[in-house]
Amino acid sequence: MTEKHDQLRAVVWADGRLQLLDQRRLPQLETMLVLEDCRAAGAAIRDMVVRGAPAIGITAAYAAVMAARARFREEPGNWLAGFREDLDVLAQSRPTAVNLTWAVRRMWESAVKIEGDPEPVLLQEAVSIQAQDIQANYTMGRLGAAFIEPGSGVLTHCNAGALATGGYGTALGVIRSAWSEGRLAQVFADETRPWLQGARLTAWELLRDGIPVSLIVDGAAAHLMKSGRVQWVIVGSDRIAANGDVANKIGTYSAAIAARHHGVRFMVVAPTSTIDMTATTGDRIPIETRAASEVLELAGQQTAAAGATAWNPAFDITPAALVDVLVTEKGVVEHPDAERMASLIM
């Protein structure tokens, strides 16, 4: 049963407060941060306490609840004006993950219809967003696993699991489902520099759910594919353009090129909330550039030669032509293009 491999929730609402598993401290420490206001939640998104497009969106939804509560207490007759300001700031926390703006917009659309205390209504909406995400992940897990032949090996990049979503995961949801169904012989994970999401997070949560995993350095992916030990690369996404181009963690594009060269199939798993139909191609997706120190240092220790500079894009764009299968909760698109994407969203 899939439930056997679904024991983790990184975003939790309890006792009127938002609790986030601090992913910066994994796997050494499991620390839940308790947040009581919207600004703290925005900082948590920006500072990578929580990451992964769906989890960012869910966190933003709960942050909106806290913002509305505070504004209503300050000025019951005009709380919407301040609430709008809070949402605008929240939406800028991280620019690439479209689920952030999607969740902010959804919470605003609910807020403008409310008469009286907004907290109960908005909390119900936030809880619904998380529940819908988990259910979507179960659906995607089942749909994606159906493509994997028994005895297969898979490679994943970054972390698109329970830590990056409301629960269960997108790419790791497929891996969890395929493992539960006895389809997988081996799971490999890229370390994923510079934040090491694969080494710290993907390996941790798979092992926590009883799924063995082997780590490789990012540069070993092509050699692994050449060895014949993997038949699929399975990744998530932070934003998908209308033509099927995929924004995901830096290094995804390289993995897709290597997969095509070696005849390894490439699967992207993401909810439809990640699809941005206003971005006609991947060139229209903003790519976040993060601090050079993330590349020049490791765990706060300087590793690069003194005086070296760094370029640190957090994401890259994988062209739709390199995607064999796009799995969403609304169905599967093989070889996505603008026409197939439009049919999916209709």
SS3 217: coil
C-beta neighbour count of 214 within 10 angstroms:
13
Determine the residue type at 274: T
H-state helical runs in the chain: 38-46, 53-74, 79-91, 98-111, 119-145, 171-180, 197, 203-208, 221-227, 252-262, 293-296, 338-345
What the block records as the tokens of 311 is: 């370029």
Question: Choosing from 238, 245, 276, 316, which is the catalytic residue?
Answer: 238
For residues 286 and 118, what is the distance between their CA atoms, to the nearest angstrom?
Answer: 33
Interior/surface letters 39-66, b for 16+ CB within 10 angstroms, e for the rest: bbbbebbeebbbbbbbbbbbbbbbbbbb
Query: How far is CA 196 from each of CA 90, 93, 163, 230, 268, rounded to the nearest angstrom?
Result: 26, 21, 14, 21, 20
Is 88 part of the annotated catalytic residue set? no
SS3 85: helix
C-beta neighbour count of 227 within 10 angstroms:
11
What the block records as the tokens of 65 is: 């609840």
Q: Is residue 336 exposed (0-12), middle (13-18) or buried (19+ Cβ within 10 Å)? A: buried
Going by C-alpha positions, the residue among 157, 206, 273 that lies closest to residue 4 is 206
Going by C-alpha positions, the residue among 140, 170, 194 that lies closest to residue 314 is 194
What positions carry a catalytic annotation? 238
